[in-house]
Amino acid sequence: MCSGRVDLKHVLRAFENGMDGVFIGGCRLNECNYTTHGNYHALNVVLLCRKIMEHLGLNPERLSVEFMSAGDGILFAEVMSEFGKKVKGLGPLGKAEGLDGDELRSRLAGVIRLVPYIKVVKQEKLAFRLENPEAYDDFFTGDEIDRLFREVVSYYIDPLKCQACMTCARRCPAEAIISARNQVHVIDQDKCLKCGTCFAVCPSRFGAVRKIAGESVPPPLPEGERTIVGKSDKEVG
């Protein structure tokens, strides 16, 4: 499999499942067999994930990436041996960092849920071909990652503007939008991936989806108050 297929979620899931270390191997940089140069993407994923691990309180040395050719069998064996020794020396995931198992799993699950959002926010950097190894450590900064999680956006459907067209519900990749015919749609914030799809597809003539940052999301309308009343209904009433 091309290292360009490695997703941030794959790495975080491995740690969520209790792996003490994750190693990613790819073709040598600038020797990609395809035009995508996916190994640069894999490198950026690792650099981003290592900073996220620091944010979570995990030792970033538990994640490693190396680039080599199919003919580098001896080098591969040496690299894997050294990485295995390093991970063994670090000890069990979480325990060595003084983190409770349940708390660590909760933190990882929270970040995994935000992966689509993180990829959208950091898409330019993730696609960048970082040529200089000396720039690796500071490509993503701790302050940048802290801000990323501190300023997470949320999406909210304004009940006064929603026309129950169901466009957002059909396009939501997480099925996080509660919808029904002639009913104001509601975003289930626990399921929402914060990918912004609903915001992008909501018809401009309605503009019902709001992007919220730095403030609490308003509570949803009670289920019994979500029926949309048309003009004719109001006149009859």
Per-residue pLDDT tens for 173-205? 999 999 999 999 999 998 998 889 999 999 999
Question: What pLDDT score was predicted for residue 235?
Answer: 46
Residues of the chain with CATH 3.30.70.20: 154-236
Question: What pLDDT score was predicted for residue 159?
Answer: 95
Question: What pLDDT score was predicted for residue 234?
Answer: 47
pTM, entire model: 0.80
Q: What is the pLDDT of residues 67-86, one digit of tens each?
A: 998 889 999 999 999 999 99
Q: Per-residue confidence of the chain (237 residues) as pLDDT tens digits?
A: 788 899 999 999 999 999 999 999 999 998 877 777 889 999 999 999 999 999 999 999 999 999 998 889 999 999 999 999 999 999 999 999 999 999 999 999 999 989 988 998 999 999 999 999 999 999 999 999 999 998 889 999 999 999 999 999 999 999 999 999 999 999 999 899 888 999 999 999 999 999 998 788 999 999 999 999 765 454 444
Contacts of residue 103, defined as CB under 8 A and 6 or more positions apart, other chains included, come to none
CATH code of the domain occupying 154-236: 3.30.70.20
